[in-house]
């Protein structure tokens, strides 16, 4: 997978809860342009959580595109993820975007890319994207294994750790939670 020097997004789901979090840093080259950006949002009338790693204008385009497909699929996240990735892959302009998305609800969690990837994590519970994604993912797995934390706290702590390690990630963290 491509690594983006733009953000860190972490998603965690259980059978009755879905949480997504993202840092607030926007970098342009080696310069921090903004510290409090919000890179996560709800879609599908609040029934799907999503996060984006890549350029801001691309994020809005892809969020809107996913929202339309989600509506067309009557909120079915699995079908929407597949249709979205096909449409993203087939569009001559969009497939060149260096971007990734995380989408989840309490039943599914997917990593989506312009290469046509629809990846459901092996455990189906934790995924991360962006420049600090591997740090956040590692922290989340360790905290899940060795600590008893509520899902939202686990996401925040993992992103905090990533923000302390990755120069393209900060510790201004936003989260969204969805209950079954």
Catalytic residue list: 7
Q: How far is CA 137 from the centre of its chain?
A: 12
Q: Please enumerate in sequence order all residues whose Cβ is within 8 A of that of 25, keeping only pairs 6 or more positions apart, or say none.
A: 7, 32, 34, 35, 37, 163, 168, 169, 170, 172
Beta strands in the chain (DSSP E): 8-13, 17-22, 26-28, 31-34, 40-43, 48-53, 100-104, 109-113, 118-119, 126-130, 174-179
Provide the 3-class DSSP secondary structure of residue 8: strand
Beta strands in 5-162 (DSSP E): 8-13, 17-22, 26-28, 31-34, 40-43, 48-53, 100-104, 109-113, 118-119, 126-130
- The CA distance from 6 to 17, in Å, is 27
């Amino acid at each position: 997978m491509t690594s983006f020097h733009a953000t860190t997004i972490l998603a965690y789901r259980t059978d009755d809860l879905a949480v997504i979090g993202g840092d607030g840093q926007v970098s342009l080259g080696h310069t921090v342009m903004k510290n409090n950006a919000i890179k996560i949002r709800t879609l599908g009338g609040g029934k799907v959580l999503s996060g984006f790693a890549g350029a801001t204008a691309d994020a809005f385009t892809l969020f809107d595109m996913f929202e339309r497909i989600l509506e067309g699929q009557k909120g079915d996240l699995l079908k929407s993820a597949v249709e979205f990735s096909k449409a993203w892959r087939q569009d001559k302009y969009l497939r060149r975007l260096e971007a990734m998305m995380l989408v989840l609800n309490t039943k599914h969690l997917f990593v989506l890319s312009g290469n046509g990837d629809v990846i459901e994590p092996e455990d189906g519970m934790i995924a991360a994207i962006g420049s600090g994604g591997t740090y956040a993912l590692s922290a989340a797995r360790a905290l899940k294994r060795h600590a008893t934390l509520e899902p939202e706290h686990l996401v925040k702590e993992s992103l905090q750790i990533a923000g302390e390690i990755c120069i393209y990630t900060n510790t201004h963290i936003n989260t969204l939670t969805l209950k079954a």
